[in-house]
Amino acid sequence: MADKITKDMTFFEVMRTYPEAVNVLQKYNLGCIGCMGAQNESLEQGANAHGISVDDLLRDLNAAVS
């Protein structure tokens, strides 16, 4: 298990390792559960594509799983 969630992790990896992270992703309106790109797209790529600050996303994800 990873020590913390990083911007290079894929959405799938985060959701598989930390199921509670799904609530944070939903807060940011990221429908990652049903997205085919979730397996290959990094958090940074997805955040950039959706106009979301990756730093804010990482802060909230890591707070939720700590």
In a domain, 2, yes or no: no
Q: Give the range of the structural domain holding residue 60, as residue numbers without chain letter.
A: 11-65
In a domain, 50, yes or no: yes
In a domain, 4, yes or no: no
Residue-wise pLDDT tens digits, 7-55: 999 999 999 999 999 999 999 988 777 777 778 899 999 999 999 999 9
Number of domains in the chain: 1
CATH number of the domain within which 40 lies: 1.10.3910.10
Backbone angles phi, psi at 10, to 5 degrees: -80, 160
pLDDT at 1 over 50: no
Q: What angle do CA 53, 25, 57 make, to 5 degrees?
A: 25
Cβ atoms within 10 Å, residue 7: 15
In a domain, 5, yes or no: no
In a domain, 40, yes or no: yes
